[in-house]
């Protein structure tokens, strides 16, 4: 049978996983889905993901694709996956796409969303938001966000362990909002959404960590251009915790 290329859009709770990418010893989202695909197709399938997500990071709409000669339709694949996957992974859609489609290389933009709760914890957001015990100055954070926008060398915001040499990226927008938590409107919830043409290793979380420091008054918004220009990782505040980060959307 002719090989077909299947595109999946996946939501997952990353709390129990050591990131998206297959690991030698740790449990990953990729390996978990691949095992189910083998069960329903009988093939050793290699999922191509749109990028890495770190341990405990979540995804609202993660894109992946794979090649198969299975007779199953896209809808049958979606239903079979959801019937066999654990509760913390859900396939939102499956479709047959052009053979040349590649989840990683065809990406034009990615959007990450980060959730912060301030001053008081919420048991309903444990493992799903970053807790800051003090109040954040959102206006200062918004002023700082402006300096990140545009095309820059973000090497200062890349964590160690990456082999990527081209560290220039374009940030299209950073939107910071106060939001209501439906389950408990008394919770002080802040969302930060960053849209860029790509992200370096832990770049999103390093930017968030910097914005948090500004919100706490530990840095000034006007410090940002100098930190970016320095290219020095040591100038950047600690990386924000992974639990509050979500891959929200991938644009092709």
Whole-angstrom distance, CA of residue 39 vs CA of residue 16: 22
Question: In this structure, what are the phi and psi dihedrals at residue 162, rounded to the nearest 5 degrees?
Answer: -100, 145
The single-letter DSSP state of residue 104 is T
d(CA 70, CA 88): 26
Contact 193, 121 (CB under 8 A): no
Spot the catalytic one: 54, 88, 166, 232.
54
Write out the two tokens for 16.
């129990």
Output the CA torsion sign for 192, 198, 202, 203.
Answer: negative
Please say if 54 is a catalytic residue.
yes
If you count them, how many residues does the chain have? 252
* Residues with catalytic roles: 54
């Amino acid at each position: 049978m002719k090989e077909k290329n299947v595109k999946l859009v996946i939501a997952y709770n990353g709390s129990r996983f050591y990131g998206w990418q297959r690991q030698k010893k740790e449990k990953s989202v990729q390996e978990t889905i691949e095992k189910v695909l083998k069960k329903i197709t009988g093939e050793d399938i290699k999922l191509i993901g749109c990028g890495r997500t770190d341990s405990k990071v979540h995804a609202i709409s993660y894109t992946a694709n794979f090649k198969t000669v299975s007779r199953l339709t896209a809808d049958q694949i979606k239903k079979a996956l959801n019937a066999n996957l654990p509760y913390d992974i859900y396939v939102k859609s499956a479709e047959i796409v052009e053979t040349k489609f590649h989840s990683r290389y065809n990406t034009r933009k990615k959007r990450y969303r980060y959730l912060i709760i301030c001053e008081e914890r919420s048991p309903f957001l444990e493992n799903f938001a970053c807790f800051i015990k003090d109040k954040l100055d959102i206006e200062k954070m918004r002023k700082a966000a402006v300096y990140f926008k545009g095309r820059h060398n973000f090497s200062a915001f890349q964590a160690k362990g990456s082999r990527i040499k081209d560290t220039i990226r374009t940030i299209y927008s950073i939107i910071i909002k106060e939001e209501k938590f439906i389950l408990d409107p008394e919770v002080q919830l802040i969302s930060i959404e960053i849209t860029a043409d790509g992200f370096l290793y832990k770049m999103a979380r390093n930017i968030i960590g910097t914005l948090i420091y500004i919100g706490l008054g530990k840095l000034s918004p006007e410090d940002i251009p100098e930190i970016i220009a320095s290219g020095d990782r040591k100038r950047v505040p600690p990386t924000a915790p992974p639990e509050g980060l979500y891959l929200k959307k991938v644009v092709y």
